[in-house]
Structure 1
Amino acid sequence: MATQLKQPGPAPRLRVENYLSGDFAKAENQHLWTKVWLVAGREEELRNVGDFLTFNVATESIVVARGKEGLVAYHNVCPHRGRRLADGCGRASQFRCKYHGWTFNLEGKNVLVQDRDDWQGALDDERIDLWPVRVDSWGGFVWINMDMEGESLTEYLETIPEFLDPFELEKMRFRWKAELHLPVNWKVALEAFMEGYHVAATHPQLLPVAGNDYTQSFAQGKHAHFGYWKDMQPIGTASPRLADGGFRDARAGVIEFFRQIEEDLNAIQTDRDFEAAKKIMDVLPEDVDPMTAMGTAIELGRQAAVADGTDYPAQLTFEALAKAGSDWHIFPNCVTLPYFDGAIWYRARPDSRDPENPDKCVFEIWSLKRYGPGKEPEVQTRVITDPFKEGLCLILDQDIANMAEVQAGMKSSKFRYARPNPVQEVEVINFHRTLEQYVLGQAQA
């Protein structure tokens, strides 16, 4: 059941220790990452038997592969002397330790121990196989859980499929991928995308065309979402925060919105949507109302998708789109903003090279798109080690610029706790309440 977590009395507070404490980071490694379902990758990365990827989080490394009977996952460690078996992604018929040659098949079974007779039969076959990890899939994503007991992925996701299944995320493919190494806590990075409250100050260029930027947010169990449900205004019109600045021609406002999202974000809506939106100048009169202009742009985008060999999702009605809202936090470390034929997906985690350092993280951004059969591109991950010198795009660069300043500012002697907005930042509030229940055993936020 959705809750807004707005209660009478003191304003909500978030402990600064959750972001800055090495002890809290260590407790996350012990009590969070090994106990929850985590997105390890996309199914499209594991199409064929033997395809594998590695997923590192905190002190753990997991190898996920396409086995003969489906997806499999194991702790990425040789039981002989502890060397990691795999790195990156690729294809293999077996996993062979490069240290002493112990070898394991895709079912995790040890099939070779060099000079096995030296043990004189003392090796226990069960102990020399790979340690399994639970693996499942939803939305085209591959999920792993290192806790062999507990709730299933379906139980863990709670109401998320009800809201997001209509988007058919499983039919999307990578448009581009980026991996950023940031000098901030993983929560600081993720929370930059968990509320729309920041848009007016951080992305002021959006205000003339984004409609009413005021958001409401609601908890959905462990997860949460926000949307633009109050005093909705059509895309292409100006925010009420502006005294002026909107487009007198609704067609131009709609096209400018699609241009900004395509050229300044390159995600959520697609290049195909932008090109289709431009056509409203030819098919609609100059005095058309903003709602009709936006609706026509969407329909032209759908027609363009059909012409490209795909379509918009059949179950994604305007009612389903409105119900889902604009942005979802999927506990603990993912955020997504989906649309008819595209989506952006964020994933944050501690830097596994220094897993107890609260001032470091790896932050990934995936742009997804529906493609016609065989039209999806070959995508390589763009790795950015200094995102403050190497930019991505205007909107993301604006978000990233806040992060280091937040991490540094929270270390002020005067900053004891954050004060999130009780209406627009429920995603952040609910995040910390749930996080503390895992890490501390009780919520203190």
Structure 2
Amino acid sequence: MATQLKESGPLPRVAPENYLSREFARAENEHLWGKVWLIAGREEELKNVGDFLTFNVATESIVVARGKEGYVAYHNVCPHRGRRLADGCGRASQFRCKYHGWTFNLEGKNVQVQDRDDWDGALDDERLDLWPVRVDTWGGFVWINMDMEGESLAEYLEAIPEFLDPFELHEMRFRWKAELHLPVNWKVALEAFMEGYHVAATHPQLLTVAGNDYTQSFAQGKHAHFGYWKDVQPLGTSSPRLASNDQTDARAGVVEFFRQIEEDLNAIQTDRDFEAAKKIMDILPEGTDAMTAMVTAMELGREAALADGTQYPEKLTFEAMAKAGSDWHIFPNCVTLPYYDGAIWYRARPDSSDPENPDKCLFEVWSLKRYGPGKEPEVQTRVIKDPVNESLCLILDQDIANMAQVQAGMKSSKFKYARPNPVQEVELINFHRTLERYVLGQSRG
């Protein structure tokens, strides 16, 4: 059931130790990452038998592969001396340890021990196979869980499929991928995308075309979402925060909205949507209201997708989109903003090269898009190790610019706790309450 968490009594607070403490990071590694369902990758990365990828989080490494009977996942460690078996991604018919040659098939069975007779038969009573990891799929993503007991993925996702299945995320493919190495806690990075409260100050250029940017947010079990449900004002018009609406032509405001999202973010809406939106300047008369202009632009985007051989999500009605809202936090480490034609997906986790360091993380951004059959591009991950001097795109650069300042500012002797907005930042409040139950055994409240 959705809850807004705005309640009488003390307002919600978040302890800075959740971001800054090595002890808290160590407890996350022990009590969180091995107990939850995590996205390891996309199904499109594992198309054929033998395709594999590795997923590292905290001190653990998991190898996920396409086996003969479906997806399989194992702890990425040789039971002989502990060497990791696989790195990156690729295709293999078996996993062979490069240290001493022990070999395992795609079913995780040991098929080769070099000089096995040296053990004089004692190995027959030892565990030689790879340690399995639970694996499942939803939304076109491959999920893993290192805890062999506990809730299924369907149970873990709770209400998410009810809200997000109409978007047909499984029909989307990578448009681009970026991996950023950031000098901040993984939660600081993720939380930059868990509320819309920051838009007015961080992205002021959006206010001219974002309509009413005031958000409301609600918890959905361990997950949460926000949307623009109060005093809805059409996209393409200026925010009520501005003294005046500089867009005298609603058509131009709608086109400018699509331009900013395409050129300054390159995600959620698509290049196809932007090109289609431009046509409203020709087919709609001057003086057309903003809502008509936006709905027309969206319909033109649908027509363009169909012409490109891409099916549009039939169950994604205006009502279903309004119900879903704009942004979802999927506990613990993902955030998504979906649309008809595309989506942006964020994933954060500790830097596995230094997993107890609360000042380092790996942050990934995935732009997804619907493509016609065989039209999806070959996508390589762009790795950014110096985000201060290497631009990703305007909107994300603005978000990233806040992160290091937040991480540093929380170390001030005067910063005793964060004070999240009890209406617009429920994603963040619910996140920490749930996180603390995993890590500390109970929420700090």
1:44: how far off?
Answer: 0.2
Secondary structure in 2 aligned to 1:128?
Answer: coil
Deviations 1:326-372 (A, max 9, x none): 00000000000000010000000000000000000000000000000
Cα separation, 2, equivalents of 1:214 and 1:10: 24
Letter in 2 for 1:136: D
1:309–1:371 Cα contact (<8 Å) kept: yes
Cα separation, 2, equivalents of 1:126 and 1:419: 53
Deviations 1:35-90 (A, max 9, x none): 00000000000000000000000000000000000000000000000000000000
Matches within 5 A, 1:156-167: 156-167=156-167
For the structure 1 residues 129 and 297, does the alpha-carbon distance in structure 2 shift closer, same or farther, using more than 3 Å as the test? same
- Specify the alignment match of 1:14 in structure 2: 14
Secondary structure in 2 aligned to 1:163?
Answer: helix
- Specify the alignment match of 1:144 in structure 2: 144
Cα separation, 1, equivalents of 2:332 and 2:246: 38
1:335 aligned onto 2:317: no
1:383 aligned onto 2:375: no
Cα separation, 2, equivalents of 1:312 and 1:159: 23
Letter in 2 for 1:145: N
Which shows bigger deviation, 240-249 or 407-416? 240-249
Secondary structure in 2 aligned to 1:14?
Answer: coil
- Specify the alignment match of 1:213 in structure 2: 213
- Specify the alignment match of 2:232 in structure 1: 232
Letter in 2 for 1:408: A
RMSD of aligned alpha carbons: 0.6
Cα separation, 1, equivalents of 2:207 and 2:126: 61
Deviations 1:217-246 (A, max 9, x none): 000000000000000000000100001143
Cα separation, 2, equivalents of 1:12 and 1:144: 32
Cα separation, 1, equivalents of 2:312 and 2:128: 48
Cα separation, 2, equivalents of 1:113 and 1:186: 40
Which shows bigger deviation, 119-128 or 141-150? 119-128
Matches within 5 A, 1:4-153: 4-124=4-124, 127-153=127-153
Deviations 1:291-342 (A, max 9, x none): 0000000000000000100132000000000000000000000000000010
Cα separation, 1, equivalents of 2:312 and 2:88: 33
1:181–1:361 Cα contact (<8 Å) kept: yes
Name the count of aligned residue pairs: 445
Please give the TM-score of this superposition, normalised by the length of structure 2. Answer: 0.99
1:125: how far off?
Answer: 6.1
Cα separation, 2, equivalents of 1:126 and 1:301: 60
Cα separation, 1, equivalents of 2:415 and 2:97: 48
1:209–1:246 Cα contact (<8 Å) kept: no
Cα separation, 2, equivalents of 1:111 and 1:159: 42
1:166–1:316 Cα contact (<8 Å) kept: yes
Letter in 2 for 1:79: P
- Specify the alignment match of 2:296 in structure 1: 296
1:399: how far off?
Answer: 0.0
Deviating beyond 3 angstroms after TM superposition, the runs of 4 or more aligned structure 1 residues are: none
Letter in 2 for 1:30: E
Cα separation, 1, equivalents of 2:200 and 2:369: 27
- Runs of 5+ in structure 1 lacking a partner? none
Deviations 1:376-426 (A, max 9, x none): 000000000011110100000000000000000000000010000000000
1:10: how far off?
Answer: 1.7
1:8: how far off?
Answer: 1.1
1:110–1:125 Cα contact (<8 Å) kept: no
Matches within 5 A, 1:240-259: 240-259=240-259
Secondary structure in 2 aligned to 1:165?
Answer: helix
Secondary structure in 2 aligned to 1:292?
Answer: helix
- Specify the alignment match of 1:431 in structure 2: 431
Letter in 2 for 1:77: V
1:124: how far off?
Answer: 3.6
For the structure 1 residues 346 and 126, does the alpha-carbon distance in structure 2 shift closer, same or farther, using more than 3 Å as the test? farther
Letter in 1 for 2:323: K
Cα separation, 2, equivalents of 1:303 and 1:71: 35
1:183 aligned onto 2:190: no
- Specify the alignment match of 2:261 in structure 1: 261
- Specify the alignment match of 1:2 in structure 2: 2
- Specify the alignment match of 2:407 in structure 1: 407
- Specify the alignment match of 1:355 in structure 2: 355
- Runs of 5+ in structure 2 lacking a partner? none
For the structure 1 residues 72 and 172, does the alpha-carbon distance in structure 2 shift closer, same or farther, using more than 3 Å as the test? same
2:237–2:245 Cα contact (<8 Å) kept: no
Letter in 1 for 2:228: Y
Secondary structure in 2 aligned to 1:427?
Answer: helix
Letter in 2 for 1:208: T
Which shows bigger deviation, 180-189 or 120-129? 120-129
Cα separation, 2, equivalents of 1:125 and 1:64: 27
Secondary structure in 2 aligned to 1:262?
Answer: helix
- Specify the alignment match of 1:326 in structure 2: 326
Cα separation, 1, equivalents of 2:216 and 2:256: 25
Letter in 1 for 2:18: N
Cα separation, 2, equivalents of 1:402 and 1:38: 26
Cα separation, 2, equivalents of 1:283 and 1:126: 74
1:436: how far off?
Answer: 0.1
Please give the TM-score of this superposition, normalised by the length of structure 1. Answer: 0.99
